[in-house]
Amino acid sequence: MAVLKVIEVLSNSNTSWEDATKNAVKQAGKSVKNIRSVYVQEQSAIVDKDEVTEFRVNVKITFEVK
C-alpha cells in the first residue's frame, strides 16, 4: 500500500495555463519527490489593456511518501 500526500500550489506563466501547470510541477519537484499526478483546480488570468498578460493556475499535486 502506498502513502500519498497532496499539496496545493499556485503558479503563473506569461504563455499559457499549460505552461503554468508545468511550472508548478517543476518547482514542486525541487523539494518533493515521487510526484504522481497534478490536478488543475482553478484557472485565472490577468488582463491589461484588453490583453491577457498572465495565466495563473491553482493545482493540487499528489506524491508518494516513502
Yes or no: domain 3-65 corresponds to CATH 3.30.1660.10:
yes
**Cα–Cα nearest to 61, from 15, 1, 10:** 10
pTM, entire model? 0.90
Residue 1 reports pLDDT greater than 90: no
Of the pLDDT bands very low, low, confident and very high (cuts 50, 70, 90), residue 66 is confident
**What pLDDT is stored for residue 30 in this prediction?**
96
| Segment 7-63, tens digit of pLDDT | 999 999 999 999 999 999 999 999 999 999 999 999 999 999 999 999 999 999 999
Taking the C-alpha atoms of residue 12 and residue 10, their distance in angstroms, rounded to an integer, is: 7
**What are the structural domain ranges in the chain?**
3-65
